[in-house]
């Protein structure tokens, strides 16, 4: 493993420890996979029926050009892509569905969750047209949950209500004209599986339109829905100060790591860790140190100030510190390798969901009704594991970086309203018009073993903020940027161009933050890309232009998960230039690649995909796009 694997100093310290301990990591397994299969990489492998696998020769030099059924390269690629995007959407929709179930049970008093944000409850109910006056929170929450469930039961053929209630009218019209509006999220995901099975759709263009529809399913029945409901249940984030990276683990504490995506469990773990701290002290520890990995980590970071241990690709290293007493996982982005790696240590790996079991893990059945019992059992298991910790194997790297998170749209508007109470967006827009803020980029998504870990996130953002581009971040991208110091109190001073720095200082001071706003605002987990959406809708509405006219770009510098593809598809469908630093498996289909990355999709949706793995070139194109949009707007 001689390549540049990561720029995170904690990772670079931990990898030799892993080697010393004889433990394989994702980077070792990445190397063992080389060279990866060219058919798979280009999307030219089909296993959609038992006559296959069929493969198409990507170079056209004599090998087969169709599968056994006659499917050609663009059809292979379009079908595979639709399945991937549908899988990404399914992940987010399943997540959101559980949050709505929790909302309903909380409203009925059948599950131990509060409705923490009455204002958000009323706002979300209001957008769905539910009258809110003279209703207590519980009955309104029940009505809201029922109204949301009607989308999932919708057999009318009408568009999903949550989408029309949330998305800008201009977008809804565009999508209506293309015939891509989703009806019932479950029905659309089912149909995508049907449409891509053997002997079905043979038209790559029609399959791409269905892919766009899946992007909308993800955006509205996944991202927006999950964020809205989670804010109602757990509160809308406000700025919190903490630290990021493996150094947040503490030698003399019971270290409990929450990992996965859905805060229904992790919020309870945080609550009970605080309540049962005395038991940890009785076991000889100084207390309980909580830490997060991946997006459930982001959820409890945003609302509870729990420090993130690291991002997805480095998850095994948190265990290899020898100091993780329990790793509690719910769903998504959980490497199966955590089973064998935790078995090398005293670490209790605790699975909690019926659809995520890992051989060797302790399974604590998490149900909404008995959430408190499950969380208590988990904390007890962690404290017991702590008692078995081998102190001689503890190797916590010192790295940790101060950070500010918690920038929901409400928090951003709250800070701006200290500058202009009547019209909070005005200072932001005025500074964009004046060029103090050149534009905005949302950096989102994962880390990917194909690239040096964190490098693209960090190098791109370093250049962007120097060029006075305001960055908003979510997911593992946000965690990479936090670790690298872009969310620290001194980040504006260290990284931002002078005009941007002046704006961030003025807002930070007015908002009483005690420091400038960081040039990278942490907006939350991957479902919280909905928050970036809300901000973009608000800017477009303020300027009275379509989203595609804004000097705004989306970027997933190191995408890994299928969810990154479905979020990216949603971003393109909003009208945004959407950068990917890793090429998805589409290059084997020239027509599909052309449609997704060039004028045809710009004509239809206003946005397009743009793939570039060189961070400097990517920033060049992004800045060019932002400047072009500015000049089209006449600013
Ligand atoms: O939902 S960024 S590796 S943790 S998929 Fe997973 Fe990717 Fe991280 Fe968050 Ni998002
Ligand atoms: Fe081959 Fe067609 Fe079956 Fe795919 S669906 S495996 S291309 S025969």
Q: How many CB atoms lie within 10 A of CB 53?
A: 14
Closest C-alpha residue for ligand 1 atom 6: 333
> What is the Cβ-side half-sphere exposure of residue 432, based on CA atoms within 13 angstroms?
23
How far, CA to CA in Å, does 169 sit from each of 172, 175, 469, 574?
A: 5, 10, 28, 11
308-310 and 520-524 as β-strands: parallel, antiparallel, unpaired? unpaired
If asked whether residues 220 and 327 sit together in one domain, one would say no
**Measuring CA to CA, which residue among 113, 106, 226 is closest to residue 162?**
226
Element (H, E) at 293: strand 288-293
Atom number of ligand 1 nearest to Cα 475: 2
42 found inside a domain: no
Q: Are residues 472 and 325 in the same domain?
A: no
Q: Do 229 and 297 belong together in one domain?
A: no
**Which residues contact residue 300 at a Cβ distance below 8 angstroms, ignoring those fewer than 6 apart?**
258, 263, 266, 267, 270, 290, 292, 306
For residue 42, report the distance from its CA to the centre of ligand 2, in Å. 16
Does residue 43 form part of some domain?
A: no
Binding site membership of 476 for ligand 1 (Cβ less than 6 Å): yes
| pLDDT 10s digits, 448-458 | 999 999 999 99
Q: Are residues 421 and 445 in the same domain?
A: yes
In a domain, 10, yes or no: no
Ligand nearest to the CA of 259: 1
Ligand 1: residue of 95, 316, 318, 446 to mutate (most ligand atoms within 8 A of CB) is 446
**In this predicted model, which residue has the larger pLDDT, 325 or 61?**
325
State mean pLDDT over 363-392. Answer: 98
Residue 3 has pLDDT above 90, yes or no: no
415 and 527 in a single domain? The answer is yes
Mutate to test the pocket of ligand 1, among 292, 301, 475 (most ligand atoms within 8 A of CB): 475
Asked whether residue 65 is domain-assigned, the answer is: no
Give the domain extent around 307: 246-393
Any idea what the CATH number is for the domain that residue 126 is in? 1.20.1270.30
- Which tokens is 288 given? 């309980």
Q: Say whether both 299 and 352 belong to one domain.
A: yes
Q: Is residue 136 very low, low, confident or very high in pLDDT (cuts 50, 70, 90)? A: very high
Tell me: do 189 and 277 sit in the same domain. Answer: no
Computed over every residue of the chain, the mean pLDDT equals 97
Rounded to the nearest angstrom, the distance between the alpha carbon of 584 and the centre of ligand 2 is 21
Is 152 a domain residue?
yes
CA of 51 to the centre of ligand 2 (A): 6
587-602 per-position pLDDT tens digit? 999 999 999 999 989 9
What's the rounded Cα separation, in Å, for the pair 310 and 299?
14
pTM above 0.85, yes or no: yes
Residues 215 and 257 in one domain: no
How far, in Å, are 139, 144, 237 from residue 151 at the CA level?
A: 19, 11, 27
Whether 95 and 188 share a structural domain: yes
Listing DSSP states for 340-403 in one string gives HHHHTSSPEEEE-BTTB--TTSEE----STTHHHHHHHHHHHHHHHHHT--GGG-------EEE
- Phi and psi at residue 551, in whole multiples of 5°? -80, 65
Give me the pLDDT at residue 60, please: 77
Q: What is the CATH number of the domain that holds 418?
A: 3.40.50.2030
Give domain status of residue 67, yes or no: no
Identify any residues that bridge with 609 across adjacent strands, giving them in sequence order: 578
Do residues 301 and 274 make contact, with C-beta atoms less than 8 angstroms apart?
A: no
**Residue 568 reports pLDDT greater than 80:** yes
Same domain, 368 and 413: no
Q: How far apart are CA 409 and CA 310, in angstroms?
A: 24
**Is 9 within a domain?**
no
Inside any domain, residue 20: no
Of 1 and 121, the structure prediction assigns the larger pLDDT to 121
Please tell me the distance between residue 543's alpha carbon and the centre of ligand 1 in angstroms. 32
Which pair of tokens denotes residue 527?
A: 């479902």
Write out residues with Cβ below 6 Å of ligand 2.
Answer: 46-49, 51-52, 54, 67-69, 71, 198
Q: Which atom of ligand 2 is nearest to the CA of 53?
A: 6
Probe ligand 1: pick from 257, 332, 454, 473, max atoms within 8 Å of CB? 332
Distance 135 CA to ligand 1 centre (A): 37
117/136 same-domain check: yes
pLDDT band at 273 (very low <50, low <70, confident <90, very high): very high
Measured in Å, residue 592 CA sits from the centre of ligand 2 at 18
What average pLDDT does range 292-309 have in this prediction? 98
Tokens of 219: 């955006």
Q: How many domains are there within the chain?
A: 3
The residue out of 181, 211, 234 marking a domain boundary is 234
CA–CA separation, 244 vs 261, rounded Å? 18
Tokens of 512: 């009483």
State if residue 333 touches ligand 1 by the CB under 6 angstroms criterion: yes
- pLDDT value at position 2? 56
Listed in sequence order, the residues at least 6 apart from 606 whose beta carbon sits closer than 8 Å to its beta carbon are 174, 546, 547, 548, 574, 575, 576
Indicate the pLDDT class of residue 1, thresholds 50, 70 and 90: low
Half-sphere exposure of 286 (CA within 13 A, CB side): 7
230 pLDDT band, cuts 50/70/90, is very high
Q: Does ligand 1 come within 6 angstroms of the Cβ of 601?
A: no
Q: Give residue for tokens 């379509």.
A: 546
Q: How far is the CA of 68 from the centre of ligand 2 (A)?
A: 6
Q: Residue 61: what pLDDT? A: 82
Q: What is the mean pLDDT of residues 95-120?
A: 98
The predicted model gives 533-540 an average pLDDT of: 98
Closest ligand by atom to 39 CA: 2
- Output the residue whose Cα is nearest ligand 1's atom 7: 446
| Cβ atoms of residues 139 and 104 within 8 Å | no
Is the same domain home to 254 and 367? yes
Half-sphere exposure of 302 (CA within 13 A, CB side): 36
Where do we find the tokens 């240590």?
345
Structure tokens at 373: 């019992």
Asked whether residue 577 carries a pLDDT value surpassing 90, the answer given is: yes
Q: What are the DSSP calls for 108-173, one per residue?
A: TT-SS-----HHHHHHHHHHTT---TT--HHHHHHHHHHHHHHHHT--SSSPPHHHHHHS-HHHHH
Mutation to probe ligand 2, out of 40, 43, 49 (largest number of atoms < 8 A from CB): 49
Instruction: State which of 337, 367, 393 marks the end of a domain.
Output: 393
Q: Please check whether residue 54 is in contact with residue 535, taking contact to mean a CB–CB distance below 8 angstroms.
A: no
Domain end, chosen from 374, 393, 412, is at 393
The set of residues, in sequence order, having a beta carbon less than 8 Å from that of 487 and lying 6+ positions away, is 244, 403, 404, 405, 478, 481, 518, 520, 521, 522
Helix (H, G, I), strand (E, B) or coil at 328: strand
Q: Whose CA is nearest to atom 7 of ligand 2?
A: 67
Q: What is the pLDDT of residue 59?
A: 83
Tell me the residue ranges of DSSP E strands in 294-357: 308-310, 326-329, 348-351
556 ligand 1 Cβ < 6 A: no
């Amino acid at each position: 493993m001689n390549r540049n694997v990561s720029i995170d100093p904690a990772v670079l310290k931990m990898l030799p420890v892993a080697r010393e301990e004889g433990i394989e990591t994702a980077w070792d397994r990445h190397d063992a996979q080389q060279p990866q299969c060219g058919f798979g990489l280009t999307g030219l492998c089909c296993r959609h029926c038992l006559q296959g696998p069929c493969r198409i020769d990507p170079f056209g030099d004599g090998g087969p050009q169709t599968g056994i059924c006659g499917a050609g390269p663009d059809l292979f690629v379009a079908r595979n892509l639709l399945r991937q995007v549908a899988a990404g959407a399914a992940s987010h929709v399943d997540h959101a569905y559980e949050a709505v179930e929790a909302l309903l049970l909380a409203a009925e008093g059948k599950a131990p969750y509060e409705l923490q944000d009455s204002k958000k409850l009323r706002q979300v109910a209001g957008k769905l047209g539910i009258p809110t006056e003279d209703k207590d929170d519980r009955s309104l929450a029940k009505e809201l949950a029922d109204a949301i469930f009607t989308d999932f039961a919708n057999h009318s053929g009408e568009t999903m209500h949550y989408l029309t209630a949330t998305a800008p009218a201009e977008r809804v019209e565009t999508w209506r004209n293309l015939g891509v509006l989703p009806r019932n999220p479950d029905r659309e995901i089912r149909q995508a599986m049907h449409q891509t099975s053997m002997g079905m759709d043979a038209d790559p263009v029609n399959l791409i339109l269905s892919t766009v529809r899946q992007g909308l399913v993800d955006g509205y029945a996944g991202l927006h829905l999950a964020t809205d409901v989670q804010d109602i249940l757990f509160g809308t984030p406000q700025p919190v100060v903490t630290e990021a990276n493996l150094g947040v683990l503490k030698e003399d504490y019971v270290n409990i790591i929450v990992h996965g995506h859905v805060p229904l469990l992790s919020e309870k773990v945080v609550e009970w860790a605080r309540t049962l701290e005395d038991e940890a002290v009785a076991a000889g520890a100084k207390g309980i140190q909580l830490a997060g990995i991946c997006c459930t980590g982001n959820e409890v970071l945003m609302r509870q100030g729990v420090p993130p241990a690291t991002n997805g690709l480095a998850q095994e290293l948190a265990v290899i510190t020898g100091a993780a007493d329990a790793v509690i996982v719910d769903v998504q982005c959980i490497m199966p390798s955590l089973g064998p790696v935790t078995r090398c240590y005293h670490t209790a790996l605790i699975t909690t969901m019926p659809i995520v079991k890992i051989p060797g893990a302790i399974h604590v059945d998490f149900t909404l009704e008995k959430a408190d019992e499950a969380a208590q059992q988990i904390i007890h298991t962690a404290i017991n594991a702590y008692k078995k910790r081998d102190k001689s194997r503890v190797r916590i790297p010192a790295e940790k970086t101060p950070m500010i998170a918690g920038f929901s749209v409400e928090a951003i508007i709250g800070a701006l309203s200290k500058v202009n109470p009547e019209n909070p967006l005005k200072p932001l827009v005025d500074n964009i018009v004046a060029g103090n803020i050149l534009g905005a980029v949302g950096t989102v998504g994962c880390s990917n073993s194909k690239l040096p870990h964190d490098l693209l996130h960090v190098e791109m953002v370093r250049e962007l903020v120097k060029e006075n581009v305001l960055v908003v971040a979510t997911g593992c991208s946000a965690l990479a940027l936090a670790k690298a110091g872009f969310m620290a109190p001194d980040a504006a001073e260290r990284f931002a161009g002078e005009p941007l720095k002046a704006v961030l200082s003025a807002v930070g001071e007015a908002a009483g933050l005690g420091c400038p706003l960081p040039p990278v605002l942490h907006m939350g987990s991957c479902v919280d890309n909905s928050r970036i959406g809300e901000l973009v809708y608000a800017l477009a509405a303020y300027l009275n232009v379509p989203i595609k006219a804004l000097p705004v770009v989306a970027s997933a510098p190191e995408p890994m998960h299928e969810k990154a593809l479905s979020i990216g598809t949603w971003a393109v469908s909003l009208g945004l230039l959407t950068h990917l630093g890793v090429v998805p498996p589409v290059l084997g289909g020239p027509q599909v690649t052309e449609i997704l990355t060039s004028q045809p999709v710009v004509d239809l949706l206003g946005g397009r995909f743009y793939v570039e793995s060189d961070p400097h070139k990517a920033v060049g194109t992004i800045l060019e796009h932002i400047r072009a949009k500015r000049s089209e707007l006449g600013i």
